[in-house]
Amino acid sequence: MNQQVDTRTRILDIAEAAVLDKGFEATSIDEIVAGAEISRGGFFYHFKDKNALARAMLERYIATEDALYDDLFARARELNDDPLHCMLIGLKLLAEMLEEMPTGHPGCVIASTAYQDRLFDEGVRELNRQAILGWRKRFRGMFEEIAQVYEPREPVNMDALGDMVSGVVEGGLVLQRALREHNNASEQIMLFRTFLKLLFAPRQQPV
């Protein structure tokens, strides 16, 4: 039982690294099998097909990402209790984190599966969808909290603003991959941060 968990996890680890590096389609089962030092039969014992692998990977990714956000904004909250400043600190931490992990951000996988969706089954697509909807809800909640304290300077759709966090990260990662630069995603987040600062700037209330 323990050995099973180990092998399964090992497969996921190796697949994860390969997929982040090369993309899902470019990662062959033979390669994973060789990396994990198991037989092809062993692979199919754990995952009925490549879709099942994709599903398991996505589930892990999303859980990791959620935990990361939880941790990030919890740390930000410790540093400042104000919802706006907490958000700004959290985004700063996120930007720094993205600069440190060169290619390996889970977000990749969302975009990657979104653009090859016909290769995946409904389960994978639905996981993808739920992940983004989850982030929308999370950030919309935070922005609504901010808006109660700082009235937005321009009217904004809060769902769209929540989506913008994911969108800016995804878009930044696309740029980063295509340009072969390494800090585009973090720069995009810093610009989004500037947007929030301006959007929720206090209305000429001097200190």
Partner DNA sequence: TGTCAACTGGACTCGCGGTACAGTGGGAAG
Partner DNA sequence: CTTCCCACTGTACCGCGAGTCCAGTTGACA
Taking CB under 8 A as the criterion, which residues in 137-156 touch a copy of itself? 153-154, 156
Toward a copy of itself, which CB reaches closer, 32 or 168?
168
Residue 175 touches which member of DNA, a copy of itself, none, C-beta under 5-8 Å by kind: a copy of itself
The verdict on 91 binding a copy of itself (CB under 8 A) reads: no
Cα→Cα distances 102→13, 21, 105, Å: 17, 10, 8
CA–CA separation, 148 vs 136, rounded Å?
A: 18
Near a copy of itself by CB under 8 A: residue from 37, 44, 198, 202 = 198
CA–CA separation, 129 vs 46, rounded Å?
A: 25
Q: How far is the CB of 42 from a copy of itself (least distance, A)?
A: 25
DSSP 94-109: HHHHHHHSSS--THHH
The verdict on 50 binding DNA (CB under 7 A) reads: yes
Residue 206 touches which member of a copy of itself, DNA, none, C-beta under 5-8 Å by kind: none
The verdict on 36 binding a copy of itself (CB under 8 A) reads: no
Closest Cα partner for 63 from 25, 100, 122, 109? 109
Near a copy of itself by CB under 8 A: residue from 117, 141, 182, 202 = 117
∠ CA 167-90-170, nearest 5°, is: 15
Toward a copy of itself, which CB reaches closer, 24 or 46?
24
DSSP 40-65: HHHHHHH-SSHHHHHHHHHHHHHHHH
Q: Enumerate binding residues for DNA (CB under 7 A).
A: 1, 3-4, 6-8, 27-30, 37-42, 44-46, 48-51
